Chain A
Amino acid sequence: MTATVMVAAAAWVVLTSVAHVVPASRFPAPLDVLHAGRQLATSGYAGATIWGHVATSLGTVIGAFAVAGAAGTLLGILMGSSRRFEAFVNPVFLLLRPIPPLAWIPLAIVWFGIGVQSKIFVVSLAAFVPAAINSYTGVRSIDPALIAAARVHGASSRVVLGEVLIPGALPMIFTGLRISLQASWAALVAAELVGAVAGLGHVMTSAAYDIYPGMVLYAMLWVGGLGATTSLALAALERRAIPWARR
């Protein structure tokens, strides 16, 4: 494992900086990436320093994911626990569900411009749908015998929801939130690439125009790093929320 990483790192250094097999205009050398990092940290690039861009992107993802993920989960639980509510919502949900979040970007720009609002809108859509589908599946896949047993012992609908349906669906709910979070990052980067005034996707677009591969790769590292960090944070939350499902 460590051997692979070391070989890959060595290959990167040798191919770009020692043997010059890969031209710097195609793939940046390690020093180019360091240079890009230093520039972003001190003088800034594409309108802000790294902290400004990270704050824009990370703030959008976390805010939109938290609100839309919660709303999607709620809708999924309602659809899962009431067949009538499901019948009411399902036709519209089935119409909108196959439209990928990225296909909403142009309409979002018409409605909200290229500022942060259109990103919040697109990321919310991306986070909403997987959360809804998985919490719905989670509630539906609970053993009906458990629900019947709770009812026989006199549990009210509210108790059944709070003590049987939601705890039983929690593993699926978190599966949905994990997918939602990944979809949120993908939607954010795409929306920022299409048109933005700040954020990591905007850094990548500007760097692509300037033919500055070191900066492109540096911004990609941030996108991947933040994606991994937020996923790990969600996994930690999952372990606290479902202590009985140790894996």
Chain B
Amino acid sequence: MGAALNGDGRVRAALAVAGSALFLSVWWLAAAAPHANALFLPSPVAVAVAFARFVHEPFANATLPQHLAASFGRFALGFALAVSVAIPLGLAMGWSRRVDDVVTPLFEAVRYVAPIAWLPFAVLWFGTGIGGPTMIIFAGVFPACLVNAYRGARFVDPVLLEAARTLGAGNRRMLVEVMFPAALPTIVAGLRIGAGSGWQSLIGAELIIVSSGIGYAMVQAQSSLETPIVISTMLAIGAVGAGIDVLLRSLERRLSRWRPTPEQRTTPS
């Protein structure tokens, strides 16, 4: 049995290598074809070389790490702002019917507007410096965080709430010591979805209005037909996005570890 699994594992590893090799060779062959244009599709090697050079040689006024740092700083600001508004508001909506009734219609009205569609107003209201891009990140992060905090608060086990009430917990303690911890795993899941959407919205904003950061480097590379740099920035954007996701995922796992399983809840030890 174990040997058979190992055999299958080996086949799968070989297939994984074959898949990657096929992708790279199709890319490489397409780039090396007689009529191929390097401006249009550079070879994987050309991209790797451009990437390595971009790490220490500036393009569009900064090196790759500097561009990434500028973007990430912006992202962190917008993310922190959105989270610190969305989570208390979402919890309050889950807690109080009245807050829910006031906020939900307003939220529903703008829910289907893509975050990036706020860009013209973001520029009009907050300019293209720090404010405009921050508002776009905010618009990307906010909905997922709000919805998840709301759901987390709404679906807290009523037994927990009643138990805390019976034992004499006041409103503040109910919110801080019962509701928030119980909703935490759902909230963190919302942070993860929001972070992905906020990071992508920032890239969109940087393509259009900002004059620093990774999206700006990308659009500069595009207009000067430095396609290897365009692809390098895409890879860097993907890597940072994946890094943020991995970070929040591990946070999610750590927070849900102490969460009681259904059996534990029904049969207290």
Contacts and interface: CB of A to CB of B under 8 A. Distances in A.
Contact of B116 (A5, A88, A103, A190): A190
A92 B23 contact: yes
B19 A100 contact: no
A109 B222 contact: yes
A239 interface: no
Nearest to B115: A186
Contacts, number: 162
A231 B230 CA distance: 33
Contacts of B3: none
Nearest to B243: A98
Interface string B1-38: 00000001001110110111001000000000000000
Interface string A85-117: 001111110011111111111110111000000
Contacts of B159: none
B113 interface: yes
A231 B111 CA distance: 11
Contacts of A99: 234-235, 237-238, 241
A106 B115 CA distance: 19
Contacts of A95: 238
B218 A103 contact: yes
A177 to B, nearest CB: 16
Nearest to A194: B207
B18 A88 contact: yes
A84 interface: yes
B119 interface: yes
Interface stretch (B48-56, B80-88, B145-153, B197-205): B197-205
A189 B239 contact: no
Given A91-B16, A223-B113, A102 B105 contact: no
A152 interface: no
A92 B105 contact: no
A4 interface: yes
Contact of A106 (B12, B111, B222): B222
A138 B29 CA distance: 36
A29 interface: no
A204 interface: yes
Contact of B241 (A83, A98, A110, A217): A98
A244 to B, nearest CB: 23
Interface string A208-230: 10010100110010011101100
A26 interface: yes
A81 interface: no
A1 interface: yes
A63 to B, nearest CB: 18
A208 B116 contact: no
A40 B79 CA distance: 36
B221 interface: yes
A192 B245 CA distance: 28
Contacts of B23: 91-92
A96 B121 CA distance: 32
Contacts of B163: none
A217 B119 CA distance: 11
Contacts of B12: 83-84, 87
A106 B207 contact: yes
A193 interface: yes
Nearest to A179: B193
B24 to A, nearest CB: 9
Contact of A111 (B40, B112, B219, B234): B40
A243 to B, nearest CB: 26
A141 to B, nearest CB: 16
A188 B40 CA distance: 23
A102 B101 contact: no
Given A8-B106, A84-B11, A90-B19, A186 B234 contact: no
A207 B200 CA distance: 24
Contacts of B199: 100
Contacts of A223: 112-114, 117
A220 B105 CA distance: 17
A207 B121 CA distance: 11
B15 A87 contact: yes
A205 interface: yes
Contact of A100 (B11, B102, B241): B241
Nearest to A87: B12
Nearest to B241: A98
Nearest to B11: A84
Interface of B: 8, 11-13, 15-16, 18-20, 23, 39-40, 101-106, 109-121, 123-125, 196, 199-201, 203-204, 207-208, 215, 218-219, 221-222, 225, 227, 230-231, 233-235, 237-239, 241-242, 245
12 contacts: A27-B121, A92-B19, A99-B234, A99-B235, A99-B237, A102-B116, A111-B40, A190-B116, A204-B117, A216-B124, A220-B118, A224-B112
